[in-house]
Amino acid sequence: MSRETILNAVIFGGLLAVPLWACIVDEPFTITLATKVAILALAGVGLNIALGLGGLVSLGHAAFFGLGGYAMGILASHAQSYTPLMESPLLIEGTKSMPIIWLMALITSALAALAIGALSLRTSGVYFIMITLAFGQMFYYLSISWPAYGGEDGLSIYVRNGFPGLNTLDPIQFFAICFALLALALWLNARLIRSPFGLALGAARQSPQRVETVGLSPFRLRLAAFVISGAITGLAGALFADLNRFVSPTMFSWQTSGEIMIFVILGGVGRLYGPVAGAALFITLEHVLGGLSEFWHIYLGLLLLLVVLFARGGLIGLIAGREVHHD
Amino acid sequence: MTLILFIEQVLNGLQFGIMLFLMAAGLTLVFGVMGLINLAHGSLYMVGAFAAAAVAGWTGSFVLGLAAALAAAAAAGALVELLVIRRLYDRDHLDQVLATFALILIFSEGTRYLFGSFPLYLDIPDALTGPVTLPGGIQYPAYRLAIIAIGLTIAAGLFWLISRTRLGIRIRAGEADREMIAALGVDISKLYTIVFALGAALAGLAGALVGAIQAVQVGMGEPVLILAFVVIVIGGIGSIKGALIGSLLVGLTETLGSIAMPALFRLFMDNSAAQATGSAIASMLIYVLMALVLVWRPQGLFGARV
């Protein structure tokens, strides 16, 4: 077993142990923090597929995070006001059922990722960064200027959506749902890395010419990765909205894109558990530094600057060494 | 839409476009010469606006405020280049994005620490308050006309600088082949600092000029930064001409779209629904424009490479 495998087990076990302990000593706030870590880590896992595996520096993942959130908000708000979403040509009702909401969040964010990816992957490098950032901002302004779903004020959902057989209002049960989805996404990600698709994608990152020479299209590989990546981040958005029982244009803002990227970087780009470590570190910092100073973003900025300039490879790289292991 | 309203909106669009140009020109130069993507460019815009508002507030002089904005933004730019940015030239774009994102956090919170969360206001100088009557009897604010004039003058100056001066030759040479001009004995690191400070000063000036018609507040720079990115994607990286054309296109699309779209939808919808749908569609127009340019010419209208 490599050091990274042991570290991954520690991170995974830690994220499970902390809320269980908090449940025993009755600290619901700690459970909520751990739930937030699991959800944000899920968003990071999504981005990491594009960023770490595909080498696509997307600064627009807030678009998918927000779309997931609004998919939940729109469906649940129609359900709570008993008004159908659409009457003609076919009747679509709102819903408070998590699995249906997740499915819608996955579909909408995957479709958006397909459109954004098809346009932005025509370019590369710095163009790609600017274009994804711009499309993210487009959704931000759209959500502000579309008055039907709250506009600038966002949408509140009074009761958390339901999951068959579970009481989602109980913090530990909602944590279990989020943690299970995170574990599923990590498992999928691990499978993806070793699949022919993942290998081809990694090869397209290292040398697009060679991949083209063997008859594969880097554009298609990247587009597929971008869609998978966007869909996972969208699912995280739906869970995040459910955690807060609130969606607002903030979910679409460029800061959100930056923060999702920070989770991945703080943990370590291309590391399977990087986003989990990064999200846990971020939430801990937010909680500890935010308690010390109102201006904690300065310290976050300085830390990020130090990581980028001097500690490339992030937290996992620092502890487990520079070599990336995929086991 | 009446003709007068239309001309007013065209002027507003020009004014907005010129502001975007001041931002985009610096960004595109920095990218063209150093190959660096700088997210913190919006922070330099904010630094300019705050310096202008603070100094104009103390001294009561708008011109001193503008001078302070230029000086503060250029100084902040040079300092950031020396401390952080120059370590990033050899790094990949991901590192550049993260480090400059970190700079945004530091600049924004630092400004909030110094000036507080409440917006500052910068008064329009007395000589430029009130409207001017244009030919055809159109009343238009003098200050906005002045912004258009200043912006066009600076655009002309920039073209002159790039095409006619020794510094401009070096900048163009730097875009074409960095290693070669370093080998020919040009102090490349000094050139980089100068280009970065120049771009910063332009951003600071834009911030100060806009500061008199908008609130000066933390976070004011990033929306403009993202629009400047759209401009660069449309115009093509590294091209000042592309930045100018792109800025004017984006400025005009944004202002005319917010008037034209609701009017268009009013043709076949009732008034309030048309207003809502129209303004929602209008908010997406410039991104649609960007998408069209990407489909048609992925390298941008005047860009040489992708």
- pLDDT tens by residue, B141-188: 899 999 999 999 999 999 999 888 998 888 888 878 878 888 888 888
Token duo for residue A326: 């995929």
Answer whether A131 sits within 8 Å of B95, measured CB to CB.
no
- Beta strands, E only, chain B: 131-134, 138-141
Q: Which residues in B lie closer than 8 A to residue A300 (C-beta atoms)? A: 102, 105
Shortest CA gap B52–chain A (Å): 23
Distances (CA, A) of B210 to B15, B20, B289: 10, 10, 24
**Contact state of B294 with A122 under an 8 Å Cβ cutoff:** yes
Residues of chain B found within 8 Å of residue A54, distances taken between Cβ atoms: none
Answer whether A304 touches B (CB < 8 Å): yes
How many A/B residue pairs have CB atoms within 8 Å?
Answer: 125
Q: Touching check for A130 and chain B: CB below 8 Å?
A: yes
Cα gap B164→B172, rounded to integer Å? 11
Q: Sign (positive/negative) of CA torsion B47, B53, B56, B58? A: negative
Query: CB contact, 8 Å: B114 with chain A?
Result: no
Q: Does B290 touch chain A (CB under 8 A)?
A: yes
Residues 12-71 of B with CB under 8 A from A: 31, 35, 37
Contact state of B101 with A51 under an 8 Å Cβ cutoff: no
Q: Is A321 left (phi over 0), alpha (psi -120 to 50) or beta?
A: left
Domain boundaries, chain A: 3-320
Assign 3-class secondary structure to chain A: CCHHHHHHHHHHHHHHHHHHHHHHCCCHHHHHHHHHHHHHHHHHHHHHHHHHHCCCCCCCCHHHHHHHHHHHHHHHHHHHHCCCCECCCCCECCCCEHHHHHHHHHHHHHHHHHHHHHHHCCCCHHHHHHHHHHHHHHHHHHHHHCHHHCHHHCEECCCCCEECCECCCCHHHHHHHHHHHHHHHHHHHHHHHHCHHHHHHHHHHHCHHHHHHCCCCHHHHHHHHHHHHHHHHHHHHHHHHHHHCEECHHHHCHHHHHHHHHHHHHHCCCCCCHHHHHHHHHHHHHHHHHHHCCCHHHHHHHHHHHHHHHCCCHHHHHHHCCCCCCC
CA A87, chain centre distance (Å): 33
pLDDT by 10s per residue, chain A, length 327: 677 888 888 888 889 888 889 888 888 899 999 999 999 999 999 999 999 899 999 999 999 999 999 999 999 988 888 888 777 677 777 888 899 999 999 999 999 999 999 999 988 888 899 899 999 999 999 999 887 888 888 888 888 888 888 888 889 999 999 999 999 999 999 999 999 999 999 999 999 999 999 989 999 999 999 999 999 999 999 999 999 999 999 999 999 999 999 988 888 887 889 999 999 999 998 888 888 888 888 988 998 898 888 877 677 777 777 655 444
pLDDT digits over B137-150, tens only?
Answer: 788 889 999 999 99
B213 falls within a domain: yes
Residue A222: the pLDDT is: 96
Q: In this complex, is the C-beta atom of B205 within 8 Å of any C-beta atom belonging to chain A?
A: no
Q: Which residues contact B252 (CB under 8 A, 6 or more apart)?
A: B10, B13, B14, B17
Q: Which chain B residue has the Cα nearest residue A261?
A: B98
With CB atoms and an 8 Å threshold, state whether B222 touches A51. Answer: no
Given CB atoms, is B287 within the 8 Å cutoff of chain A?
A: yes
**Record: contact A142-B279, CB cut-off 8 A:** no
Non-local (6+) Cβ contacts of A185 within 8 A are A42, A45, A46, A232, A235
* Sign of CA pseudo-dihedral B13, B14, B15, B17: positive
Contact assignment for A146 to B280 by CB distance below 8 Å: yes
CATH code of B292's domain: 1.10.3470
Q: What percent of chain B has pLDDT over 90?
A: 50
- B82 to chain A, any CB pair closer than 8 A? The answer is no
Split into its structural domains, chain B has a count of 1
CA B27/CA B48 separation, integer angstroms: 16
Find the domain containing B90 and state its range. 3-296
Task: Read off the pLDDT band of B102 (50, 70, 90).
Answer: very high
Inform me whether the C-beta atom of residue B209 falls under 8 Å from chain A C-beta atoms: no
Rounded to the nearest angstrom, the minimum Cα separation between A5 and chain B is 26
The answer to whether A298 contacts B110, with C-beta atoms less than 8 Å apart, is: yes
Domain presence at residue B304: no
Q: Is residue B305 part of a domain?
A: no
Residues of A in Cβ contact (< 8 Å) with B35: 126
Residue of B16, B15, B23, B13 lying closest to B158 (CA atoms) = B23
Residue the block writes with tokens 């993806």: A192
Kindly report the backbone phi and psi dihedral angles of residue A91, in degrees, each rounded to the nearest multiple of 5, phi listed first: -80, 125
Distance from CA of B280 to the nearest CA of A (A): 5
Q: Which pLDDT score is estimated for A326?
A: 46
| Total residues found in chain A within this entry | 327
Question: Would you say residue B301 lies in a domain?
Answer: no
Rounded to a whole number, what is the distance in angstroms from the first to the last CA of chain B?
40
CATH 1.10.3470 fits A3-320, yes or no: yes
